[in-house]
Each structure stands twice: as structure tokens, then as C-alpha cells.
Amino acid sequence: MLEPSGLYELSAEVPELDGPVLIQALTGFVDAGSAIQLSREHLLANLDVRTIATFDVDQLLDYRSRRPPMVFIEDHWASYEEPALTLHLLRDEIGTEFLMLTGPEPDIQWERFIAAVTQLIDRLGVRLTVGLNAIPMAVPHTRPVSVTAHATDRELLGEHESWLQRVQVPASVGNLLEYRLGKSGHNAIGYAAHVPHYLAQTNYPAAAELLLDSVSASTGLALPTGALRDAAAAVRAEVDKQVGEDEQAARLVESLEQQYDAFLRGREANLLAGDASELPTADELGAELERFLAEQSRDE
């Protein structure tokens, strides 16, 4: 492996920190409802921020697989959305300093990147790394957003109950970072908000609000969520309006509610289980709702 420190550059003045929390908010794998993006943009817009380290994205990204956007106006290229992988230092609402890693998930050199992040964790005395995630699930938007929590040490999870037993999923840099940190004796925890899968392609601020509330609960950080709560209420009202105007969509949501409530009562083995003779499958429900909401968007 090439020297990990060759991937990043520290700022000229690195402050002495007192066991900060590091929030890992990389995007590019799964970000249902854009919850990770909404969370990090909300914190960057509402808290004091300074740059601590920048990564050399040219060594980490495959530009042809996800081409950064450019804007053309009339007769010239007007702008280029340059990708950036950045480690920020922020202060929460009561002045507590914490770190946040933002940007696109690297396409290559995963192990070197993780080694570089681990170097920074050790250099800055990070006491806990918290990863943000958001996944599509067969849950109705009419129920409170839920979250799957996981950690390198079971005691870090507190009262969180598991939603899943054993699953195999494609790896991501964020999840691999948590795994590697656990193997090297570092504390790390992750939260994956459950986004209704028929709303996974739209902004779902309720999931971002829950992610930040979960971080606050496990770390003691005072993170602002008021604007996200207001945005979530507006989205809920709009989805309710669209669903309420279509009887079939309303029946589909009701069926999802029945499946969800049955799961909470312990009658189902998992979120996708159910009596097929009585209820449509979650995939059928999601596909029909996606169709309905897409048609509403086109009509606007």
C-alpha cells in the first residue's frame, strides 16, 4: 500500500481537540431520500465551520463513472461542480467542537483511504466515529421514521433494537471504515434511517432529522434540527395530499401500514413478510406508489 498520508493535506493550523466526535457523511452508495446529503448540508449551513484537511480526489474518484456536472450557457461553459472530500471542524449549538467528513465515496484505493482516515482519527484524538446512512425500506410514510443502529461494541448501541438478523449487502467505504476501526480497537457506530422505498428518490428530510437526533443522543452533541423538522412536515403534507387524492394509492399505503404494524407487534419475521393472500407484497406496493407519485410530479 502507498503511504496513506499522501492522500490528504492538513490545514496550516490544526487545533488541539479534546476527544472530538467524527461524523462520517460520505455519499455515493445508498442515500435514500438524500438523507445523508440533507444532514451534512444542514450542519454546514447552520454551524460554524472550518476546513481541517482536504483529500486528493484525483487519486480516489473515477470521473467517468459519475461525471461531475457542468453548466453551459449560450456560448460558454459557466461552471463546474468540482468534487471535494473534506474534513471539517464544526461547533455545535453550545460550542462543542466536532469533526465531519464530507464528499463522495471514493471509487478506488479504499484501504489506503481508510488508513488515511484512521491516521487523522489518531492524530486528532477522535473518541467516536459516527457514520450516517439511509436505506429504502418497506415502511409507510405515515409512521415515525425508524433507524437501524450498528457499532463496533454492542454497549455503544444503548437501547436500540435490531431490525435485521443476517443479510449480505455490497460493501461501502463508510461501512468498511466502521469494520476496520473496530478491528483496530477504535469506537465507531452507524445509523441507517429507514426511508419509505416509494419516496427514496425524493428529498426526505424526516430521515435526516432522525439521523441528527440519533447522533445527538449517542454523543451529546447539540445539533440543530428545527429547519429539517419544518421541511419534513411540509413533505408529509404534500405526500398525504397526493395519496389522499387517489383511492388506490390510499389503499396501498393502508396495506403498508398493516404490514408495518404487524411487524411491530412481533407477528412478522421481517418487514417484507406477510400473508400474500391478504396483502400485496412490499415490492408491489412500492412500485404502484412510485408510479402514482411520478404521475403527480409530471402533472405539476
Task: List per-residue pLDDT tens for the chain, 300 residues long.
Answer: 899 999 999 998 888 999 999 999 999 888 999 999 999 999 999 999 999 999 999 999 999 998 999 999 999 999 999 999 999 999 999 999 999 999 999 999 999 999 999 999 999 999 999 999 999 988 899 999 999 999 999 999 887 767 667 778 889 999 999 999 999 999 999 999 999 988 999 999 999 999 999 999 999 999 999 999 999 999 999 999 999 998 888 888 898 898 888 877 764 444 444 443 344 455 554 555 555 555 545 544
Among 146, 156, 122, 141, smallest CA distance to 233 is for 141
Q: What is the pLDDT of residue 265?
A: 73
β-pair partners for 133: 192
**Is 58 a domain residue?**
yes
Q: Are residues 250 and 209 in the same domain?
A: no
Domain at 150, CATH number: 3.40.50.10900
Does 252 reside within a domain?
Answer: yes
Q: What are phi and psi of 72, to 5 degrees?
A: -110, 130
Structure-block grid coordinates of residue 162? 435490531
List of residues 6+ apart from 254 with CB closer than 8 A: none
Instruction: Provide the residue range defining the domain that includes 286.
Output: 245-299
Q: How many domains does the chain have?
A: 2
Q: How far apart are CA 93 and CA 111, in angstroms?
A: 34
Same domain, 254 and 181: no
pLDDT of residue 134: 95
39 & 162 share domain: yes
Q: What is the pLDDT of residue 262?
A: 81
Q: Are residues 89 and 47 in the same domain?
A: yes
In a domain, 106, yes or no: yes
**How many CA atoms, within 13 angstroms, populate the side-chain half-sphere of residue 157?**
15
| 234 within some domain | no
220 and 255 co-located in one domain: no
- Residue 233 in any domain: the answer is no
Judge if 84 and 152 occupy the same domain: yes
Domain edge (last residue) among 225, 256, 284:
225
